[in-house]
């Protein structure tokens, strides 16, 4: 089984709908991240969490919210989806051992907002 699991893998929704993307990990890492990837723009950080009680905004947090339900679970919500949120979304974890911050990614969720 994958160490970092994202669900769903694909999602099509309509403008104005609320949706949630889920991420769970079995790596035992404290740190979890949500990124979006757009062609030509690379990975951009939406939110990150260093433990259950610590949530931080990233570069592009507007229009998104997150919840860290447990050490192993970190979900991303779009309260009212809009077409420019169509993108590939990735969850990642890291254990920050030795200050390396090596990140382990899930397989991604492809989201289309119509």
Partner 1 sequence: SQKIEQNSEALNIQEGKTATLTCNYTNYSPAYLQWYRQDPGRGPVFLLLIRENEKEKRKERLKVTFDTTLKQSLFHITASQPADSATYLCALASGGYNKLIFGAGTRLAVHP
Nearer of residues 53 and 100 to partner 1, judged by Cβ: 100
CA atoms of 2 and 59, how far apart (whole Å):
27
Position 4 contacts partner 1 (CB under 8 A): yes
Please pick, from the candidates 66, 87, 106, 113, the single residue that binds partner 1 as defined by CB under 8 A.
106
Interior/surface letters 85-101, b for 16+ CB within 10 angstroms, e for the rest:
bbbebbbbbbeeeeeee
Specify whether the CB–CB gap between 60 and 46 falls below 8 A. yes
Residue 51: both structure tokens together: 């433990």
Query: Is residue 64 a contact point for partner 1 (CB under 8 A)?
Result: no
Told to check if 102 binds partner 1 by CB under 8 A, we report: yes
Smallest gap from Cβ 101 to partner 1, in A, equals 5
Tokens of 92: 């990642």
> Closer to partner 1 at the Cβ: 16 or 22?
22
Q: Is 108 in the site for partner 1 (CB under 8 A)?
A: yes
- Cis check for the bond before 8: say yes or no (omega within 30 of 0): yes
Interface residue list for partner 1 (CB under 8 A) = 4, 33, 35, 40-45, 48, 50, 58, 90, 92, 96, 99-108
């Amino acid at each position: 089984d994958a160490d970092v699991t994202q669900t769903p893998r694909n999602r099509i929704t309509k403008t104005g709908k609320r949706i949630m993307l889920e991420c769970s990990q079995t790596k035992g890492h404290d740190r979890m991240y949500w990124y979006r990837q757009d062609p030509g723009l690379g990975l951009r950080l939406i939110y990150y969490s260093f433990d259950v009680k610590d949530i931080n905004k990233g570069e592009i947090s507007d229009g998104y919210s997150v919840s860290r339900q447990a050490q192993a679970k970190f979900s991303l919500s779009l309260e009212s989806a809009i077409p420019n949120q169509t993108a590939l979304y990735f969850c990642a974890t890291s254990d920050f051992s030795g200050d390396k911050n090596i990140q382990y990614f899930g397989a991604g969720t492809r989201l289309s907002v119509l």
